[in-house]
Amino acid sequence: MSQHISENTHKLAVFDFDGTITRRDSFNDLIIWKFGLLRFLIRMFSLTPLIILYKLGLVDNAVPKCKMFKSFFKGMKEEDFIDLCQTYSLTRIDFLVREQTRELIKRHKEKGHILIIVSASLESWIYPWAKENSFEEVIGSKPEIANGSLTGNFQGENCYGIEKINRLQQLYPKRSGYYIYAYGDSKGDRELINYADQGYYISRKLFLRNEL
C-alpha cells in the first residue's frame, strides 16, 4: 500500500517490539531476569509438546505463551506486577535495544513522526521504556485481573498478525490521513508490514536501504 505524502498527511512510524526494537524476546528475558535461568528452562521443557505443535502450525502462538505466563504470574498481586514491570522496563530494556533500530527511532523522531509500538508482548513492561523514548502509543497485550490479582490469562485477542492492524485502526481509523512506516521481524508482523506504505523486515536489514 502506498499513497502520496502531502504536508497535511500525518506520518506514523510503527514498530514491533521483540526482535525489532530489541535483540531478544522480552517476555523470556523478563522471566529469566526475575526468576532465574534454571526455573525458566524447567518450565520451558514442560511446554515442549505445545511448542512443537505451534511450530507445526497446529496451535496458535498464544497457547504456549499463555501457559508460560500463567505458570509464573498467576496469583501475583496487580500492584506487584506493575512494580516488577516498571523496574524491568527502566533498568533492563535499554540494554536489549538494537543500535540500528535506536538510530532509526531517532531519525523518525527528528522528523516529527508519531512513534508507535504494536506488540504481542504486554504493554505493562513496554510502556515505561517507550514513554522515556518518545513513543506516543503502545499497543500490546494486557493481563487479565480479577480481585486485584493476575489470573494468568490475557485480555482479549493476542496482539499478533491481523490483530495488530485491528488495534492500530482503533486508534487511527482514517487510513487515508496517515502515511505509515512499519518495521517487524517475523511472520506475526506480515499483515502490518503489508498494510504500511513503507514496510520493512528488520531481520532482513532492508530498512538500511531506505532514506527517510
Query: Domains of the chain (ranges plus CATH)?
Result: 10-209 (3.40.50.1000)
Contact 192, 16 (CB under 8 A): yes
Calculate helix-pair angle for 48-55, 37-46, nearest 10 degrees.
Answer: 60
The values of phi and psi at residue 179, to 5°, are -105, 125
Residue range 16-73, pLDDT digits in tens:
999 999 999 999 999 999 999 999 999 888 888 877 777 777 767 777 888 899 999 9
Beta bridge partners of 150: 145
Q: Which pTM was predicted?
A: 0.88
Q: What is the pLDDT of residue 14?
A: 98
Helix (H, G, I), strand (E, B) or coil at 139: strand
Sign of CA dihedral 100, 189, 23, 123: positive
Q: What is the pLDDT of residue 170?
A: 94
Q: What is the pLDDT of residue 179?
A: 96
pLDDT-flagged residues of the chain (< 70): 1-8, 59, 203-212
Q: What is the pLDDT of residue 71?
A: 92
Q: What is the pLDDT of residue 45?
A: 87
Return the H-helix or E-strand segment holding 105: helix 99-110
